[in-house]
């Protein structure tokens, strides 16, 4: 197990500086254009693929880094550049993690490379769990997967919503109900290969922020996938369902808590995205406050402005520390006895919303226009308190973990 450290090592600093260069030179200058276009920034993703930032190898290296600081560092730098474009770059990773966590070695080897495509023909992938009636309440999921034993195929029907890259993805990873009696333990994940008949894009959402990231419904109408597309395989699923049925008979609480633990481990990454956006807005505000003069002196010379900047920076640093701690715990298998993953996501996402709002205030009228980036950053920041579990759900998980109450 790696010791917890609050400093990046030399190799990580090099990677961070390289990512920062890409974020500053490629992502940031493209941000306003793709925000206005509300389209996936394919040329930027392609550029990221060319330099090695959009690749399975790169993320796997960071994901398995024992210090736990690899993924937070990547997220913070890319999202510092721009949240919408960065989500377009890392969105495929959400689907890839779904396969890495549940897939067999063969499934990982077959599908993850197809999710990324190659430098000359980049692809994106989508992870589809949320539904119109199952957002925070994942157990209400209705999309159904039924096994057709004669053909060794799964037949999937339902409507997914809010899927990042939904419909424009080659590979879709779809979570569906295989045993409705078992709540979230009766779910399984499936690969829906590119161009599978019956899988199509529904409504594409016009959003408040992260507009360079594509978000849409995914319709699954009698989608047939081979048995080999069930992540983890049928034998493992049957064993898992049998265990879940047994536990459900004994009360079920352990079952539900185990499901929540998976989310705990992925939440610090979202916290790190929020830290990136918050830091970006803070830096713009600090620079502006030092150079903008009113009443014959820089506005930072007023305590009312300077103290805001002091609070902004303090909150950003505190958020980063919570994110790094939770990420280190996740990589090293430390139990989240106080829901530290949720804590990091809650604090960092609320910080991003608050800091970006303060940045607008510090820039005054300019902050309110699209001539300056903080207006976009504030719109972008609003997503962090919503996806991967809303702030209310994070508080619920933390409170129930602390009090020993079951997480429903």
Ligand X SMILES: Cc1cc2nc3c(=O)[nH]c(=O)nc-3n(C[C@H](O)[C@H](O)[C@H](O)COP(=O)(O)OP(=O)(O)OC[C@H]3O[C@@H](n4cnc5c(N)ncnc54)[C@H](O)[C@@H]3O)c2cc1C
Residues 179-208 that bind ligand X (CB under 6 A): 207
Among 9, 61, 136, 222, binds ligand X (CB under 6 A): 136
State both tokens at 15. 């990677």
From 71, 86, 128, 231, residue interacting with ligand X (rule: CB under 6 A): 128
CB of 17 to ligand X, least distance (A): 30
Helix crossing, 83-102 with 105-116: angle to 10°? 160
**Alpha helices of 159-252 — where are they, by DSSP H?**
234-249
- 153 three-class SS: strand
> Is there a contact between 359 and 374 (Cβ–Cβ < 8 Å)?
yes
- Spatial separation of the C-alpha atoms in residues 97 and 178, rounded to whole Å: 21
Other beta carbons within 10 angstroms of residue 136's beta carbon come to 12
- Distance, CA of 284 to CA of 314 (rounded, Å): 16
Q: Which residue's CB is nearer to ligand X, number 164 or number 266?
A: 164
Pick 124 or 309: Cβ nearer ligand X: 124
* Residue whose CB is nearest to ligand X in the complex, by number: 135
Contact with ligand X (CB under 6 A) among 12, 40, 107, 130 = 130
By rule CB under 6 A, what count of residues binds ligand X? 22
Distance from first CA to last CA of the chain, Å, rounded?
Answer: 32
Cα–Cα distance, 91 to 110 (Å, whole number)? 19
Residue 381 half-sphere exposure toward CB, CA atoms < 13 A: 31
* Options 272, 312, 383, 407; binder of ligand X; rule CB under 6 A: 383
- Of 62-121, binders to ligand X (CB under 6 A) are 94
Q: Is 386 in the site for ligand X (CB under 6 A)?
A: yes
Stretch of residues binding ligand X (CB under 6 A), selected from 125-133, 267-275, 313-321, 360-368: 125-133
C-beta closer to ligand X: residue 158 or 389? 389
Single out the residue of 14, 15, 16, 41 nearest to residue 27, CA to CA: 41
Q: 206 vs 249, which CB is nearer to ligand X? A: 206
393 binds ligand X (CB under 6 A): yes
Query: Which listed range, 26-34, 150-158, 252-260, 387-395, lies at the site for ligand X (CB under 6 A)?
Result: 387-395
- Interface residues for ligand X in 143-172 (CB under 6 A)? 162-164
User: What residues are annotated to the active site?
Assistant: 388
Collect contacts of 225-229 with beta carbons under 8 A, ≥24 apart: 225/153, 225/154, 225/156, 225/190, 225/191, 225/192, 225/193, 225/196, 226/152, 226/153, 226/154, 227/147, 227/152, 227/153, 227/154, 228/107, 229/154, 229/190, 229/191, 229/192, 229/193
Q: Which is nearer to ligand X, 68 or 167 (CB)?
A: 167
According to the binding rule CB under 6 A, does residue 218 interact with ligand X? no
Residue 22 or 387 having the CB closest to ligand X:
387
- Is position 300 an interface residue for ligand X (rule: CB under 6 A)? no
Counting contacts by CB under 6 A, is residue 135 touching ligand X? yes
Q: Please report, as ranges, the residues that interact with ligand X according to CB under 6 A.
A: 94, 127-130, 135-136, 162-164, 207, 210, 215, 383, 386-390, 392-393, 396
């Amino acid at each position: 197990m790696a010791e917890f450290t609050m400093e990046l090592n030399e190799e990580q600093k090099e990677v961070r500086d390289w990512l920062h260069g890409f974020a500053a030179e490629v992502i940031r200058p493209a941000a306003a254009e793709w925000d206005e276009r509300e389209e996936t920034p394919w040329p930027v993703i392609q550029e990221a693929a060319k330099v090695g930032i959009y690749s399975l190898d790169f993320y796997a290296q960071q994901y398995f880094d024992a210090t736990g600081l690899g993924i937070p560092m990547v997220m913070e730098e890319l999202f510092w550049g721009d949240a919408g474009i960065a989500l377009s770059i890392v969105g495929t990773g959400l689907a890839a993690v779904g396969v890495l966590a549940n897939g067999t070695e063969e499934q990982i080897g077959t599908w993850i490379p197809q999710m990324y495509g190659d430098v000359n023909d980049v692809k994106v992938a989508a992870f589809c769990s949320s539904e119109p009636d199952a957002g925070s309440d994942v157990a209400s999921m209705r999309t159904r997967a039924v096994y057709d034993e004669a053909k060794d195929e799964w037949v999937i029907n339902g409507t997914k919503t809010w899927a990042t890259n939904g419909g424009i993805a080659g590979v879709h990873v779809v979570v569906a109900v295989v045993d409705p009696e078992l709540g979230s333990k009766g779910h399984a994940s499936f690969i829906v290969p590119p161009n599978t008949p019956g899988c199509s894009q529904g409504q594409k959402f016009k959003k408040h922020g992260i507009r360079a990231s594509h978000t849409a419904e995914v319709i699954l109408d009698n989608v047939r996938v081979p048995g080999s597309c069930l992540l983890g395989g049928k034998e493992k699923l049957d064993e898992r369902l049998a265990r879940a049925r047994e536990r459900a008979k004994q009360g079920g609480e352990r079952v539900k808590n185990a499901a929540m633990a998976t989310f705990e481990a992925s939440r610090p990454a979202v916290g790190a995205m929020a830290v990136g956006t918050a830091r970006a807005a803070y830096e713009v505000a600090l620079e502006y406050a030092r150079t903008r003069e009113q009443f014959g002196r820089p506005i930072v010379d007023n305590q009312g402005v300077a103290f805001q900047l002091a609070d902004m920076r303090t909150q950003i640093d505190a958020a980063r520390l919570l994110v790094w701690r939770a990420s280190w715990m996740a990589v090293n298998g430390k139990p989240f006895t106080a829901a530290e993953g949720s804590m990091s996501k809650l604090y960092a996402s609320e910080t991003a919303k608050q800091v970006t709002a303060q940045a607008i205030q510090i820039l005054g009228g300019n902050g309110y226009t699209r001539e300056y980036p903080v207006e976009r950053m504030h719109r972008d920041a609003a997503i962090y308190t919503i996806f991967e579990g809303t702030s209310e759900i994070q508080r619920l998980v933390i409170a129930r973990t602390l009090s020993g109450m079951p997480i429903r």
